[in-house]
Amino acid sequence: MTSLPKSTERKLGLVIDLDVCVGCHACVTNCKAWNTSGYGVPLADESPYGNDPSGVWLNRIHSFETEQNDMSALVHFPKSCLHCDDAPCVTVCPTGASYKRVSDGIVLVDESKCMGCGLCAWACPYGAREMDPVAGVMKKCTLCVDRIYNENLPEEDREPACVRTCPTNARFFGDLSDPDSEVAQLVACRESVDLMPEQETSPVNQYLLPIERYGADELASPDFNLASLANQKSGGVLSWIDNLLNGN
């Protein structure tokens, strides 16, 4: 079994704003496109043009129907590795392939040590790890570890691919252990949650909950009515306009 560091120097992670996610899948395919030719083996697709297309993805979107202001609503929920402080996927690993980095807290798989036993995927309560069907090693979000320090990229691009591409700017990247960081500030000022806290994984990634909506019920319960303005216009709107424009 593999041990976790007692603490990490930083806690790099994602903050995902469910208030503006429209479920477009940009983060999903951009992640795949970057990572299939990035860290470790490619993200294989089986039956790519066949009857049962399925492949490895490091980030997926789940959509749920919920109630909002007594009205049905759809919530789009992007899900990838949460880089937990108490990551059960690491402690369960029999070979030391899964590990959490001391310097930045990223949870990674050293594919050269991975024997593809799949225990970590069973242990992860979020279903965030996927076994590569061709190479037989475990794949997971690396927080684009090959981008965020990469001096071959302009500094502004040294962030995870999903963050850079998100059209609604729903994804943020940074050090959640630094209270002055943008991500920590967002968590502080918005209602945010640990995903499935009962699992006691201490996830680093945080989800910002949808902000309360101004619903149809509010539209329908006025503080005043246009009808009250109409009633003030004696003779109707045409004579009101005539008077107005004639300076009366």
Partner 1 sequence: MPETILNPSPKVSEEVKQTTCYMCACRCGIDVHLRDGRVRYIQGNRKHPVNRGVLCAKGSAGMLHLEAPSRLNSPLLRTGERGEGKFKSISWDEALSLAAGWLGEVRSEDPRKLAFFTGRDQSQSLTGWWAQQYGTPNHAAHGGFCSVNMAAGGIYSIGGSFWEFGQPDWKECKLVMLFGVAEDHDSNPIKMGLSEVRRNGGKIISVNPVRTGYSAVADTWIGINPGTDGLLVLSIIGELLRSGCIDVDGLRYHTNAPWLVNLSGGPDRGLIVRDDQGNPLVIDSRNDKLVSHMDPGAQPLLSKTITTPKGQEAATVFKLMVEKYLQPEFLPANVSEKTGVPASIIEGLARELYQVALEHSDEINHAWRDIYGREHKTMKKRPVAIHAMRGISAHSNGFQSCRALHLLQMLLGTIDTPGGTRYKPPYPKPYDIHPSPARYAGPETPLSGSPLGYPKGPEDLLIEPDGTPQRIDKAYSWEAPLAAHGMIHSVISNAAAGDPYPIEVLFLYMANMAWNSSMNTPSAMNDLKAKDRGGNYKIPKIIVSDAFSSEMTSFADLVLPDTTYFERYDGISLLDRPIGEPDLVADAIRYPVIEVTRNVRPFQDVLLELGARLKLPGFVDGNNEPKWKNYAHYLANHERKKGVGPLAGWRGKKGNESGKGEPNPDQIDRYIENGSFWSAEIPEGALYLKNVNQDYQEWAVDMGFYDSPSPFKLEIYSETLRKFQLAGEGHGPNQPPEELRARITEAFDPLPSWYPPGNISEEDFPYSAITQRPMAMYHSWGSLNPWLRQIHSENRLFVPESICQKENLKEDDWVWVESPTNRIRVQIKPMKAVNSNTLWTWNAIGKRSGAWNLSPKSPETTKGFLLNHLISELLPEQPNGMRWANSDPITGQAAWYDLKVRIKKAKTGEEGIYPEFKSQYKPPDSRRRPSTLQYGKEWTE
Q: Scanning residues 86 to 105, which ones bind partner 1 (CB under 8 A)? A: 96, 99, 101-102
Contact call for residues 174 and 181 (beta carbons, < 8 A):
yes
Rounded to whole angstroms, the Cα distance separating 138 from 107 reads 12
Please name which of 205, 40, 60 lies closest in space to residue 116, comparing C-alpha atoms: 40
* 110 CB-side CA count, 13 A: 13
Identify the bridge partners of residue 160 per DSSP, sorted by sequence position.
none
Site for partner 1 in 175-204 (CB under 8 A): none
Which residue stretch of 68-76, 117-125, 179-187, 199-207 sits at the interface with partner 1 (rule: CB under 8 A)?
Answer: 68-76
The nearest distance, CB 118 to partner 1, in angstroms, is 19
Which residue stretch of 77-85, 182-190, 195-203, 239-247 sits at the interface with partner 1 (rule: CB under 8 A)?
Answer: 239-247
The nearest distance, CB 132 to partner 1, in angstroms, is 9
Q: Does 140 bind partner 1 (CB under 8 A)?
A: no
Nearer to partner 1, 110 or 125 (CB): 110
Site for partner 1 in 20-49 (CB under 8 A): 20-26, 28-30, 32-34, 36-49
The nearest distance, CB 198 to partner 1, in angstroms, is 27
Nearer to partner 1, 96 or 197 (CB): 96
Within the chain, residue ranges assigned H as helices are 26-36, 88-91, 119-123, 145-148, 161-165, 182-189, 216-219, 226-232, 236-245
Nearer to partner 1, 168 or 199 (CB): 168
Q: Does 244 bind partner 1 (CB under 8 A)?
A: yes
Q: Does 229 bind partner 1 (CB under 8 A)?
A: yes
Strand intervals (E) in the chain = 12-17, 45-46, 54-55, 59-68, 71-80, 98-100, 107-109, 130-131, 138-139, 171-175, 192-193, 206-208
Residue of 166, 183, 187, 195 that binds partner 1 (CB under 8 A): 166
Identify the bridge partners of residue 139 per DSSP, sorted by sequence position.
130
